[in-house]
Amino acid sequence: MHSDPFSDFLRLADAKPVVAGGFSAGGDWAIRFPKPEYLKFFALVKGRCVLMFEGERTPVYVEEGDVFLLSSTPSFVLASDCITEPVDAKALFSGSHNKTAVIGDCKDCIQLGGHVKLDPDSGKLLAQVLPPLIHVRASSQQAGVLSWLLEQLVREVSQPLPGFSVVSMQLTQLMFVQILREYLQTATDLPCNWLKAVSDKRLQPALALMHNDPAQNWQLSELAKAAAMSRTSFAVYFKSIAGVAPLTYLTQWRMYLAGQSLRKSELSVSTLALQYGYASESAFSTAFKRINGVSPRNYRNLKMAELADN
């Protein structure tokens, strides 16, 4: 199988989409949602509505079959129009055992909603590179797969069969990945970061080398050769896409993996140094502190203390 750095980052972020529930609405209605704690997604199964963010005047119009993902947004309102006074979402959904709610006297609009749980530490790598809103319209050329997934998810949620919770979880995971794919395929102004790098076809062979064997002492010439470019051209192009030099990216990827190991394993710092390509513990500690601001031992102690407090 081909190496897939994008999947590597998703696994590192431990992204777990969850269908939290939904609502049906009719007539004049509006619901105010608090600032999301997680990445939050909605799928409009039926009808149409408007999405309005706190502090912004221009509404986003959402049509049947549209799916959208929210990241680092303020509180927001979903409504039938721009003037109806919203009810509080927490009050509306309180006491609802299946996390569904009805507002109004009919079902002109039906929505499914959920969130994406991320690792408290490495999940920031994903959350910080996403735009506040990814809106995949049902009318777009790329929405075919997403529409099919939404149809299957609605069927599983509305008519639970044996194994529906597992199927729903897998369908939601596929929807989340497909939303990100649509964003990568259609965005014209991606900022320079790892997300842009892993979606760049010219860089994929070089990234595959680094991700498949991060402990290897990769040379710039080897990475450039994999990308079928000269050393200079590769270095310039890589930084223009990823925002950092190739070997800096390699160091960062090693330290992301090392941070996860420090949080989730009891491997010694010296063992991790060898595992991630460093000849000595001191060289590894210097690199780790340069990326994370603290030494590996202090990092592990801090994370253990945070875990104990929670």
Task: Note the pLDDT tens digit of each residue in 171-189.
Answer: 999 999 999 999 998 888 8
Beta carbons within 8 Å of 77's beta carbon, 6+ residues apart: 30, 31, 32, 33, 50, 51, 52, 54, 86
Please provide the average confidence, as pLDDT, over all residues in the chain: 92
pLDDT at 221 over 90: yes
Each residue of 263-278: pLDDT tens digit? 999 999 999 999 999 9
Chain position carrying tokens 């590597």:
8
Residue 37 pLDDT class (50, 70, 90 cuts): confident
Residue type, 56: E
The two three-digit tokens of residue 271, written as one number: 């063992």
CB 118 within 8 Å of CB 52: no
Q: Are strands 30-33 and 87-88 parallel, antiparallel or unpaired?
A: parallel
Nearest CA-CA partner of 284 in 292, 293, 296: 296
Whole-angstrom distance, CA of residue 209 vs CA of residue 203: 10
Per-residue HEC secondary structure of 202-213 comes to CCHHHHHHHHHC
Give CA 39 to chain center in angstroms.
7
Instruction: Catalogue the E-assigned strands of 34-180.
Output: 39-46, 49-53, 60-62, 67-70, 76-79, 87-88, 100-103, 109-117, 133-136
The two three-digit tokens of residue 246, written as one number: 């190739």
Nearest CA-CA partner of 84 in 22, 31, 46, 33: 31
Each residue of 52-74: pLDDT tens digit? 999 888 999 999 999 999 998 88
Q: Which DSSP string corresponds to 171-212?
A: HHHHHHHHHHHHHHHH-S---SSHHHHHT-TTTHHHHHHHHH
Task: Look at residue 96 in the predicted model and tell me its pLDDT.
Answer: 56
Q: What global pTM score does this model have?
A: 0.89
Q: Which DSSP string corresponds to 18-33?
A: EEEEEEEE-SS-EEEE
Whole-angstrom distance, CA of residue 241 vs CA of residue 220: 16
Whole-angstrom distance, CA of residue 196 vs CA of residue 243: 9
Each residue of 224-253: pLDDT tens digit? 999 999 999 999 999 999 999 999 999 999
Task: Look at residue 73 in the predicted model and tell me its pLDDT.
Answer: 83
Q: Which H/E stretch holds residue 16?
A: strand 16-25
Each residue of 120-161: pLDDT tens digit? 999 999 999 999 999 999 988 878 899 999 999 988 888 878
CB 143 within 8 Å of CB 136: yes
Each residue of 72-100: pLDDT tens digit? 888 999 999 999 999 999 888 876 555 78
CB 301 within 8 Å of CB 263: no
Domains of the chain: 5-186 (2.60.120), 196-309 (1.10.10.60)
Residue type, 31: I
Task: Look at residue 11 in the predicted model and tell me its pLDDT.
Answer: 94
Task: Look at residue 90 in the predicted model and tell me its pLDDT.
Answer: 87
Q: What does the pLDDT average to over 102-129?
A: 90
Task: Look at residue 1 in the predicted model and tell me its pLDDT.
Answer: 47
The two three-digit tokens of residue 66, written as one number: 């549209």
Whole-angstrom distance, CA of residue 179 vs CA of residue 200: 17
pLDDT at 21 over 50: yes
Instruction: Please indicate whether residue 41 or residue 159 has the higher confidence score (pLDDT).
Output: 41
